[in-house]
Chain A
Amino acid sequence: MQKKRIESKLLGESYVELTHDSGLKILVMEKPDYTGAFAMFGANYGSVDTCFRLQGAKEFTKVPEGIAHYLEHKLFESEDLDAFERFAKTGASANAFTSFDRTCYLFQCSDRFEENLEILLDFVKSPYFTAQTVQKEQGIIGQEIRMYQDAPDWQVLFNLLRALYHNNPVRIDIAGTIESIAQITAELLYDCYHTFYNHSNMVLAVAGGVTVEQVLRVADKVLKKEAPVQFEQIIPGEPKEVRQKLIEETLSVDLPKFALGFKQSHSTPVRTAKECVMFDIALDIIAGKVTPLYHELLSEGLINTSFSGEYFTGRGFAVPMFTGESADAFKVKEAILSKIKSLKENGVTDEEFDISRKRLYGLEIRAFNEVDDLANDLVECSFKNETLFDRIECYRTLTKQEVEAAIKDGFDEENCSLSLIR
């Protein structure tokens, strides 16, 4: 078992990273002054993983949209007691989520940690799907899909991705559609499970008032050694150009919403901590709360305080974007593009850089307060092969010139899309 401790002197924090004999990577952040703990068991598998084959298999399997999320729901069931019933006996609060590129199962508890961890590891490693249980979930997930179809904040984002990308599977809804989930079978769920839920494609992260020994005790008991599974995926080619410059949808809303995103092309699928911090600062310098532009838009009645910037990234996609509510999003777009143009021409001032860096650094530190954020970030960093402290360190070392370069390269005015909900 390989084991190393990763530390941040600045924060006075550290965690242990180890590869368990079963082949699973485990990360534990001991926080002795916390009562409770949070555990997250994640697979590097999400809605974008739509076409794959195991090494040696003849054919690629193309799966129905939304299957990763469907699998997440179904994993809670077993032949005997389902996972929720087991957690009910301990009082822990358990849940799961599926994103574009990962699926995570989690619990938070104040007591009986080892018992809870045993349930978590055991249920995720014990798939049980039958035609009947698969069928039953269609009504439930169907309503989840409907709920999101009415949610303007989600739709404005999903539509933006559909406008930016021609082929990238990030343009598919995470939960799929009522029609696509009707094609999901127990057999397909097992195919996905056996490809992506191998220890070599998963990670366990724990943060809170527990010890590495406690975690290992449970891992030793529950996890069996697994030979790594190799798989291949078909990643469709993606042109540099956006698919549509404008995408609009009408929903029952009083307040129109918009999202403005810039298409980026990268030769590697995952954005580094440094790139992420660089673009976060760039977005803040362009139209963050401390910029004159933000205040002009605010006083002209073009945006409200819901306006914000985000570097939206995951495995295979990266979009710096601005979202907000506006009666005239075209004007907002125009103002942002002209600010970008001016920054490209004139550069960033020291003051602009310093104030954004300080503000975002202060906000970043907050993620170290709560065990749920910590466990979640540990999983995310692990899938990116980074440490939890890389981002914080970037705030100390990043230069203004690097941010200027990011603005020059990462915001292509010709390849941006505007998504509107009204």
Chain B
Amino acid sequence: MEILKITNGVRLAFAQTSQFKTAVMSLSVSVPLNEHAAKNALLIRLLARTNKKHPSTLEMNRALASLYGATITPIIEKQGETQVLRLLLSALDDRFTLDGESVCEDCMQMLFDCFFDPDVTPDGFKEENLALEKRLLIEKIDAERDDKRIYARERLTEEMCKNEAYGRSKYGTKEEIGALDGKALFEQWKTLLLHAPMEFAFVGSTPKEQLVSLLKKKCEAFPKESITELHTEFLTESYGSKTITETQKVKQGKLVIGYRAGMTYDMDNYAAIRLMTAIFGGGTFSKLFMNVREKQSLCYYCAARLIAAKGILLVDSGVETENAQRTLDAIRAELDAVRKGDFTDEVIEQAKLSICDALKGVHDSNSALLGWFASHTASSKFYTPEEIADMIRAVSREEIILAANMITEDTVYILKSEKEESADAKETH
């Protein structure tokens, strides 16, 4: 893996390998997560759909199909309070085409065309494409909300970070999306070209020199003016926990707890907090799995996840509504146990092994490699999986306990099920 600065604000992240049968690549820009979120989200989706050479989605899809089912996927991520906009392309390696033709270079060209040569008129993006994309994005928001596990986590984040940029949806709101016009999006595209930090990431067999020269050419054609600063606010502790409760017609209730992890930046005490999270609720050896699921049979899933880019930690579970409080108490008791150091040295070793084994596995998957680059898009410093593994191995028991004691509960979100006439109620008659 290597990261290269091409020019001011543009970098290349790549891993050269012929281990895989496809090449994967992405082009990303990073912007502050703010009131322009909807505009940015809609823009990157429009860019993925057509370009000047292929002005309709049908032409575009046909061109991609003839490149052996290459796919261009728009991805919108929240990394701390940075909104990352990404075009992801996956293409067949030339060695495996049916008639020996070359596709990888054409695919790379296609990706750049989408980003740098969109199908616009002087008035901006075309109304017809815009209307379609608005509907698709709004429906994507609806579809994600229909997944109650995602919905509950989103609601928790929204409530917990109400007064921070992080509380915003990475897609913006449906109302904001509805109000956008083609001209504003065109202006935003120009702004991104001039100011947003950009990264081209590549995993495949194409030589480095070729990637560098291609990227340099694009940078010369589209020089950056000034680079937007990216910043994330870290609240190191909570000022008392609040509980939000909602009711919906669902069969299973959801419980999500948000904590402040005591971090002041994304890599602050990272290894100790990551290990602490693993012992608390990050695997089948963890306290939440062993006790809340296996011993108390309260749930099917109950897991903790560290979001280092914002310095917060989430626990989520699906439970019977009547068991929500019991589960909440059980989760709190497990965290208290970690804070008191009530875990064996063996479990520390297990958590370290589990994390390090997974880190080593990053090299066995081109999507994991690209994902590794992607997870660093908005961070200032790049670490290899081996560097992270070394940090993890060096953590002591005391550091884990200290990390657990820095954690403060901020918000509890409970989704209750409103049962019309529940099967359980019937049984009691």
Query: Residues of A at under 8 Å CB distance from B?
Result: 10-12, 33-36, 84-85, 87-94, 108-111, 136-141, 143-144, 146-147, 149-152, 178-179, 208, 251-255, 289-290, 292, 294-295, 298-299, 301, 304-306, 325, 355-356, 358-363, 365-366, 368-371, 395-396
Given contact pairs A139-B298, A140-B297, A252-B250, a sample of 9 additional A-B residue pairs in the complex whose CB atoms are under 8 Å apart: A34-B364, A139-B296, A208-B364, A254-B142, A294-B58, A304-B136, A304-B140, A359-B66, A362-B70
Can you list 10 residue pairs at the A/B interface with Cβ under 8 Å? A85-B285, A108-B361, A136-B297, A137-B297, A150-B148, A252-B248, A304-B135, A304-B140, A360-B69, A361-B98
- Closest chain B residue to A92 by CB distance? B357
Confirm or deny: B293 has a beta carbon within 8 angstroms of a beta carbon on chain A.
Answer: yes
Confirm or deny: B332 has a beta carbon within 8 angstroms of a beta carbon on chain A.
Answer: no
B361 contacts A110, CB within 8 Å?
yes
Confirm or deny: B62 has a beta carbon within 8 angstroms of a beta carbon on chain A.
Answer: yes
B285 contacts A290, CB within 8 Å?
no
Interface residue stretch chosen among B18-26, B112-120, B176-184, B219-227: B18-26
B251 contacts A110, CB within 8 Å?
no
Beta-carbon contacts under 8 Å, B238-290 to A: 248-252, 283-285, 289
Confirm or deny: B205 has a beta carbon within 8 angstroms of a beta carbon on chain A.
Answer: no
Confirm or deny: B132 has a beta carbon within 8 angstroms of a beta carbon on chain A.
Answer: yes
Task: Please name all residues of chain A whose beta carbon is closer than 8 Å to the beta carbon of B250 when the two chains form the complex.
Answer: 150, 252
Confirm or deny: B191 has a beta carbon within 8 angstroms of a beta carbon on chain A.
Answer: no
Q: Indicate whether A361 sits within 8 Å of B360 (C-beta atoms), given known contacts A306-B143, A366-B90, A396-B98.
A: no
Task: Please name all residues of chain B whose beta carbon is closer than 8 Å to the beta carbon of A299 when the two chains form the complex.
Answer: 128, 132
B297 contacts A138, CB within 8 Å?
yes
Confirm or deny: B383 has a beta carbon within 8 angstroms of a beta carbon on chain A.
Answer: no
Candidates A35, A254, A355; contact of B62 at CB < 8 Å: A355
- Closest chain A residue to B358 by CB distance? A93
B365 contacts A369, CB within 8 Å?
yes
Confirm or deny: B121 has a beta carbon within 8 angstroms of a beta carbon on chain A.
Answer: no
A91 contacts B350, CB within 8 Å?
yes
Q: What's the Cα separation between A298 and B49 when bound, in Å? A: 12
Q: What's the Cα separation between A110 and B128 when bound, in Å? A: 50
Task: Please name all residues of chain A whose beta carbon is closer than 8 Å to the beta carbon of B90 when the two chains form the complex.
Answer: 366
Query: Residues of B at under 8 Å CB distance from A?
Result: 19-22, 56-58, 61-62, 64-70, 90, 92, 95-96, 98, 128, 132, 135-136, 139-140, 142-143, 145-149, 248-252, 283-285, 289, 293-294, 296-301, 318-320, 346-347, 350, 352-354, 356-358, 360-361, 363-367, 423
Q: What's the Cα separation between A290 and B27 when bound, in Å? A: 24
B285 contacts A255, CB within 8 Å?
no
A365 contacts B92, CB within 8 Å?
yes
Task: Please name all residues of chain B whose beta carbon is closer than 8 Å to the beta carbon of A84 when the two chains form the complex.
Answer: 284-285, 289
A93 contacts B354, CB within 8 Å?
yes
Q: Indicate whether A147 sits within 8 Å of B252 (C-beta atoms), given known contacts A140-B299, A356-B65.
A: yes
Candidates A35, A139, A179; contact of B361 at CB < 8 Å: A35
Q: What's the Cα separation between A289 and B136 when bound, in Å? A: 15
Candidates A88, A147, A295, A325; contact of B57 at CB < 8 Å: A295
- Closest chain A residue to B143 by CB distance? A255
Q: What's the Cα separation between A35 and B360 when bound, in Å? A: 8
Q: What's the Cα separation between A355 and B61 when bound, in Å? A: 10
Q: What's the Cα separation between A32 and B284 when bound, in Å? A: 29
Task: Please name all residues of chain B whose beta carbon is closer than 8 Å to the beta carbon of A137 when the two chains form the complex.
Answer: 297
Q: What's the nearest-Cβ distance from chain B to residue A308, in Å?
A: 13
Q: What's the nearest-Cβ distance from chain A to residue B72, in Å?
A: 12
B19 contacts A362, CB within 8 Å?
no
B300 contacts A141, CB within 8 Å?
yes
Task: Please name all residues of chain B whose beta carbon is closer than 8 Å to the beta carbon of A91 when the two chains form the complex.
Answer: 350, 352-354, 356-357
Candidates B98, B357, B364, B367; contact of A111 at CB < 8 Å: B357
Q: Indicate whether A289 sits within 8 Å of B249 (C-beta atoms), given known contacts A88-B283, A139-B298, A208-B364.
A: no
B58 contacts A88, CB within 8 Å?
no
Q: Indicate whether A11 sits within 8 Å of B96 (C-beta atoms), given known contacts A295-B57, A355-B66.
A: yes
B92 contacts A143, CB within 8 Å?
no
Q: Indicate whether A36 sits within 8 Å of B364 (C-beta atoms), given known contacts A365-B92, A366-B22.
A: yes
- Closest chain B residue to A85 by CB distance? B285
Task: Please name all residues of chain B whose beta carbon is closer than 8 Å to the beta carbon of A140 when the two chains form the complex.
Answer: 293-294, 297, 299-300
A143 contacts B146, CB within 8 Å?
no
B320 contacts A143, CB within 8 Å?
yes
Task: Please name all residues of chain B whose beta carbon is closer than 8 Å to the beta carbon of A150 when the two chains form the complex.
Answer: 148, 250-252
Candidates B58, B128, B251, B367; contact of A290 at CB < 8 Å: B58
Task: Please name all residues of chain A whose beta carbon is closer than 8 Å to the beta carbon of B149 when the two chains form the complex.
Answer: 147
Task: Please name all residues of chain A whose beta carbon is closer than 8 Å to the beta carbon of B148 when the two chains form the complex.
Answer: 150, 252
B65 contacts A255, CB within 8 Å?
no
A139 contacts B21, CB within 8 Å?
no
Task: Please name all residues of chain A whose beta carbon is closer than 8 Å to the beta carbon of B57 when the two chains form the complex.
Answer: 295, 298
Q: What's the nearest-Cβ distance from chain A to residue B132, in Å?
A: 6
B360 contacts A325, CB within 8 Å?
no
Task: Please name all residues of chain A whose beta carbon is closer than 8 Å to the beta carbon of B248 when the two chains form the complex.
Answer: 252
Task: Please name all residues of chain A whose beta carbon is closer than 8 Å to the beta carbon of B285 when the two chains form the complex.
Answer: 84-85, 88
B350 contacts A89, CB within 8 Å?
yes
Task: Please name all residues of chain B whose beta carbon is closer than 8 Å to the beta carbon of A151 when the two chains form the complex.
Answer: 147
Task: Please name all residues of chain B whose beta carbon is closer than 8 Å to the beta carbon of A12 when the two chains form the complex.
Answer: 95
Q: Indicate whether A90 sits within 8 Å of B353 (C-beta atoms), given known contacts A146-B251, A147-B300.
A: yes
- Closest chain B residue to A152 by CB distance? B146
B19 contacts A34, CB within 8 Å?
yes
Q: What's the Cα separation between A171 and B193 when bound, in Å? A: 53
Task: Please name all residues of chain A whose beta carbon is closer than 8 Å to the beta carbon of B132 when the two chains form the complex.
Answer: 298-299
Closest 5 CB pairs of A and B: A362-B68, A91-B353, A139-B297, A362-B69, A110-B360
- Closest chain A residue to B96 by CB distance? A365
Q: What's the nearest-Cβ distance from chain A to residue B352, in Å?
A: 8
- Closest chain A residue to B289 by CB distance? A84
Task: Please name all residues of chain A whose beta carbon is closer than 8 Å to the beta carbon of B61 when the two chains form the complex.
Answer: 289-290, 294-295
Task: Please name all residues of chain A whose beta carbon is closer than 8 Å to the beta carbon of B146 when the two chains form the complex.
Answer: 152, 251-255
Q: Indicate whether A10 sits within 8 Å of B96 (C-beta atoms), given known contacts A90-B353, A93-B357, A325-B143.
A: yes
Task: Please name all residues of chain A whose beta carbon is closer than 8 Å to the beta carbon of B56 when the two chains form the complex.
Answer: 295
Q: What's the Cα separation between A327 and B194 when bound, in Å? A: 40
Q: What's the Cα separation between A147 and B318 when bound, in Å? A: 7
Task: Please name all residues of chain A whose beta carbon is closer than 8 Å to the beta carbon of B300 when the two chains form the complex.
Answer: 140-141, 143-144, 147
- Closest chain B residue to A177 by CB distance? B423
Q: Indicate whether A178 sits within 8 Å of B423 (C-beta atoms), given known contacts A88-B350, A91-B356.
A: yes
B21 contacts A361, CB within 8 Å?
no
- Closest chain B residue to A77 by CB distance? B294
Task: Please name all residues of chain A whose beta carbon is closer than 8 Å to the beta carbon of B298 when the two chains form the complex.
Answer: 139, 143
Q: What's the Cα separation between A85 and B294 when bound, in Å? A: 12
Q: What's the Cα separation between A292 and B57 when bound, in Å? A: 10
Q: What's the nearest-Cβ distance from chain B to residue A350, in Å?
A: 14
Task: Please name all residues of chain A whose beta carbon is closer than 8 Å to the beta carbon of B92 when the two chains form the complex.
Answer: 362, 365
Q: Indicate whether A358 sits within 8 Å of B135 (C-beta atoms), given known contacts A146-B252, A152-B146.
A: no
Task: Please name all residues of chain B whose beta carbon is closer than 8 Å to the beta carbon of A110 when the two chains form the complex.
Answer: 357-358, 360-361, 364
Task: Please name all residues of chain B whose beta carbon is closer than 8 Å to the beta carbon of A143 when the two chains form the complex.
Answer: 252, 298-300, 318-320
Task: Please name all residues of chain A whose beta carbon is closer than 8 Å to the beta carbon of B294 when the two chains form the complex.
Answer: 140
B364 contacts A361, CB within 8 Å?
no
B139 contacts A325, CB within 8 Å?
yes
B364 contacts A358, CB within 8 Å?
no
Task: Please name all residues of chain B whose beta carbon is closer than 8 Å to the beta carbon of A152 when the two chains form the complex.
Answer: 146
A292 contacts B58, CB within 8 Å?
yes
Q: What's the nearest-Cβ distance from chain A to residue B389, in Å?
A: 10
Q: What's the Cα separation between A38 and B60 when bound, in Å? A: 37
